[in-house]
């Protein structure tokens, strides 16, 4: 089994357009530096503690998103058209 790909994709769709340049840089580092996607999944779901170098406001946003407090149905990754939409 692999980590839920929709978690990071849906998080990106919902949050990237609202992030500052600094947050985007931290997000880019988060998704590109750890060598294992499972690490990010475990940190986001709080199954494992987040290392200090990745424990940022962006990781806090991802952890909160992973809690799915609104009980949204997240069964698949979003379509990629959102990457080409103008910022809100």
Q: What is the pTM of this model?
A: 0.72
Burial 19-43, CB ≥16 within 10 A → b, else e: beeebeebbeebeeeeeeeebbbeb
Contact between residue 88 and residue 17 where contact means Cβ atoms under 8 Å apart: yes
DSSP states of 29-60? HHHHSSS-HHHHHHHHTTSSPPPGGG-SHHHH
- Residue 80 domain flag: no
- Residue 39 domain flag: yes
Q: What is the pLDDT of residues 13-64, one digit of tens each?
A: 889 999 999 999 999 999 899 878 889 989 999 999 999 999 999 999 999 9
Q: What is the pLDDT of residues 2-22, one digit of tens each?
A: 455 577 888 988 899 999 999
The domain containing residue 35 runs over which residues? 22-73
- Residue 88 domain flag: no
- Residue 13 domain flag: no
Asked whether residue 1 carries a pLDDT value surpassing 50, the answer given is no
- Residue 37 domain flag: yes
**Could you identify the residue written with the tokens 């949204």?**
72
Separation between Cα atoms, residue 85 and residue 37, nearest integer Å: 26
State the total domains in the chain: 1
- Residue 1 domain flag: no
- Residue 11 domain flag: no
- Residue 15 domain flag: no
């Amino acid at each position: 089994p692999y980590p839920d790909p929709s978690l990071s994709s849906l998080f990106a769709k919902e949050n990237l357009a609202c992030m500052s340049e600094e947050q985007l840089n931290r997000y880019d580092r988060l998704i590109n530096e750890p060598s294992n996607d499972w690490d990010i999944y475990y940190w986001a779901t709080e199954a494992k503690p987040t290392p200090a170098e990745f424990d940022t406001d962006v990781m806090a946003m991802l952890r909160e998103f992973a809690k799915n407090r609104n009980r949204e149905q997240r069964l698949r990754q979003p379509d990629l058209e959102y990457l080409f939409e103008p910022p809100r």
